[in-house]
Structures are given as C-alpha cells and as structure tokens.
Amino acid sequence: MAPALRGLIVVLALAGCERLPDREPLTGGDPKHGRSLIREFGCGSCHRISGVPGANASVAPPLEKLKSRVYLAGRFANTPQNLVAWIHDPRAMDSQTAMPAVGVDEQQARDIAAYLYTR
C-alpha cells in the first residue's frame, strides 16, 4: 500500500475513536462505560449528547458543558452527587419533572455522569 494512503487510513481511524480518561475525577466513574450506557438506556432519544452517535434529539435540553453549569434541571446545585442522583432517579428529586427514571442504577449513573462531565 502507498505510504500516503496508509497515513490517511491511520488518521481516519484515530478520528473515529475519541480518547477518554479511564477515570473522571469529579465522579470517580468510568466515562467510556458511561458512553455505552448512554446508548443502551436511550438518553439520546430525548437529549443531544456530543460524541454519542444518534444522540441528537431535542425533546430535552442538550447535555453539554455540564461541568461549567451552576444548576441542574434549573433548580439543583450542580454537584457530582446531585448529577448521579438525578440520572438514577430524577422523579425522586422532583416528582413533576418530565424526565422519567429509565432504570439506571447508582454505579451506572456515576459512569454516565463521568462521561457527561467530559463534554
């Protein structure tokens, strides 16, 4: 194979797999696992989430720049603990929210929160 072509293939392969840390410091969760859980639980059917193929709905707010936000869902302090609790069971925090609990357990919520804090 021509070296130029081989170089191009390497570049394309790298572009497709974004590097994520093994541990995200705020949550202690695993962002790579979080990203696959986001797909598994269908968060992208309501939210736009960068780096997750197919997660481009606009039913709910886009989940971007969460790390720099002051509030979650407009009313809770944006702490790692609140983010994990929200993902685990939003209606336990606010019985009126339109976001349903989708069956994410606490460890899974931690990994998902870890991914969201990398956005």
**Closer Cβ to ligand HEC, 6 or 69, answer by number:** 69
Query: 59, 53 in Cβ contact below 8 A?
Result: no
d(CA 116, CA 35): 8
Of residues 14 through 43, those in contact with ligand HEC by CB under 6 A are 41-43
Q: Radius of gyration of the chain from Cα atoms? A: 16
Q: Residues binding ligand HEC: what is the number (CB under 6 A)?
A: 24
Minimum separation from the CB atom of position 87 to ligand HEC (A): 5
Closest separation in Å from C-beta 103 to ligand HEC: 8
User: Which among 7-15, 16-24, 25-33, 82-90 is the span making contact with ligand HEC, rule CB under 6 A?
Assistant: 82-90
Exposed/middle/buried for residue 43 (C-beta within 10 Å: 0-12, 13-18, 19+): buried
